[in-house]
């Protein structure tokens, strides 16, 4: 066994850390105040190649893979969970295009996606609940050379800045429900963003509605074949969405741990730094164990993806473990900060608000337990 990152991966981590500390950190306070994503940052991240990390070089990506993607999300999440969340969801949209798009679709959309010109949302969740994509009510009625799309997607990350989306819609009701995926862009009339939710965290990363009203989608924008929509969506949710959430969670955990450690060494009580108190260093130890266990689970799961192996169970297990560990860590970081943990001058309260949003995202953690539990108990081994 070898638990070391490669020299190239270490270099990547260093480069992304530098980018996050110099280009993103100065924007965080403003994002918290305005709840808006600086569009200049989208362009900068595109220039760095972050959108194309899993996209082949033939389409303008670097094809560094899923481990590299997780490194990027962790390092950016360490500085801003909101930016990491926005990035991972855009990678999700681009990932679906890459894994299921035909050559013409890739030529038309992916090159601009990698350059940050196409901002691609993944539009799956509806009011019926994100955990049950088979309840999707958005309809795509087939016509001669187009599909007519009608419906409303909710809780769509980047809804306010997206100019295109990969959309899951029902294409058949009888004899059996059938779902297909479509590439919809803003040039198509009837596609618009709706209201943006006022969330407790991820400030700056918009989450809201995407609305399709008699939206004519040309047939060449069908992603994959008719009826493959659910498979495309579920693969995207697992390999991009859940992994993305795991990356954001690792970043939040790292930031919480670093903040707690620093504060405990600097804050003096009873004449000594509070890091000398068992109540404090027990918490630090628990945070460290959570962080290390999470990183091992997470990086092994994405390493499997890079080996082109199915990792749905490993990813689902990592998703619920890592996000709950992140929430635990942020609470402990707040506890260690005492009263200061509850004031906005210290970032730990932001980490805690952001961490809570990880739990329901990309399949609630109960859904993850279901994926893992059902698979394990169904196995004959």
Q: Which residues bind another protein (CB under 8 A)?
A: 7-8, 11-12, 14-16, 18-19, 22, 47-50, 52-53, 57, 62-64, 68
Nearest CB to another protein, comparing residues 18 and 132: 18
Name the minimum Å distance from CB 149 to another protein. Answer: 34
Name the minimum Å distance from CB 6 to another protein. Answer: 10
Nearest CB to another protein, comparing residues 16 and 97: 16
Could you give the CA distance from residue 142 to residue 46 in angstroms, rounded to a whole number? 35
Name the minimum Å distance from CB 98 to another protein. Answer: 15
Name the minimum Å distance from CB 162 to another protein. Answer: 23
Nearest CB to another protein, comparing residues 47 and 128: 47
Nearest CB to another protein, comparing residues 63 and 364: 63
Nearest CB to another protein, comparing residues 19 and 212: 19
Name the minimum Å distance from CB 7 to another protein. Answer: 5
Name the minimum Å distance from CB 62 to another protein. Answer: 4
Nearest CB to another protein, comparing residues 62 and 150: 62
Name the minimum Å distance from CB 297 to another protein. Answer: 25
Phi (first) and psi of residue 151, to 5 degrees: 160, 180
Nearest CB to another protein, comparing residues 8 and 40: 8
Q: Dump strand ranges (E) for the chain.
A: 120-123, 139-142, 146-157, 164-172, 178-185, 191-196, 207-218, 222-223, 268-269, 272-273
Name the minimum Å distance from CB 133 to another protein. Answer: 31
Phi (first) and psi of residue 184, to 5 degrees: -115, 130
Nearest CB to another protein, comparing residues 10 and 30: 10
């Amino acid at each position: 066994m070898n638990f070391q990152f490669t020299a190239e991966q270490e270099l990547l981590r260093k480069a992304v850390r530098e980018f996050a500390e110099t280009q993103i950190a100065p924007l965080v306070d403003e994002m918290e105040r305005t709840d808006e994503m600086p569009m200049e940052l989208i362009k900068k991240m595109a220039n760095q190649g972050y959108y194309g990390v899993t996209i082949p070089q033939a389409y303008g990506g670097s094809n560094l893979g899923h481990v590299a993607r997780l490194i990027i999300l962790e390092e950016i999440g360490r500085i801003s969970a909101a930016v990491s969340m926005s990035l991972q969801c855009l990678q999700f949209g681009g990932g679906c295009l890459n894994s299921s798009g035909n050559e013409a679709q890739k030529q038309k959309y992916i090159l601009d996606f990698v350059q940050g010109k196409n901002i691609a949302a993944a539009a799956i969740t509806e009011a019926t609940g994100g955990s049950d994509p088979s309840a999707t009510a958005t309809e795509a009625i087939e016509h001669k050379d187009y599909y007519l799309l009608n419906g409303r997607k909710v809780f769509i990350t980047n809804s306010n800045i997206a100019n295109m989306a990969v959309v899951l819609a029902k294409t058949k009701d009888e004899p059996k429900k059938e779902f297909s995926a479509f590439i919809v862009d803003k040039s198509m009339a009837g596609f618009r963003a709706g209201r943006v939710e006022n969330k407790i965290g991820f400030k700056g990363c918009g989450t809201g509605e995407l609305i399709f009203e008699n939206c004519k989608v040309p047939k060449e924008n069908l992603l994959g074949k008719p009826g493959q929509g659910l498979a495309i969506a579920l693969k995207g949710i697992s390999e991009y969405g859940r992994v993305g959430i795991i990356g954001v969670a690792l970043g939040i955990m790292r930031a919480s741990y670093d903040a707690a450690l620093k504060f405990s060494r600097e804050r003096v009580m009873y004449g000594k730094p509070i890091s000398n108190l068992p109540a404090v260093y027990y918490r630090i130890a628990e945070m460290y164990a959570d962080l290390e266990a999470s990183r091992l689970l997470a990086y092994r799961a994405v390493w499997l993806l890079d080996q082109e192996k199915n990792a749905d169970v490993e990813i689902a297990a990592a998703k619920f473990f890592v996000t709950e560990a992140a929430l635990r860590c942020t609470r402990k970081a707040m506890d260690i900060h005492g009263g200061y943990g509850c004031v906005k001058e210290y970032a730990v309260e932001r980490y805690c608000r952001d961490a809570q949003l990880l739990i329901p995202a990309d399949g609630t953690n109960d859904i993850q337990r279901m994926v893992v539990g059902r698979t394990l108990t169904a196995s004959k081994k």
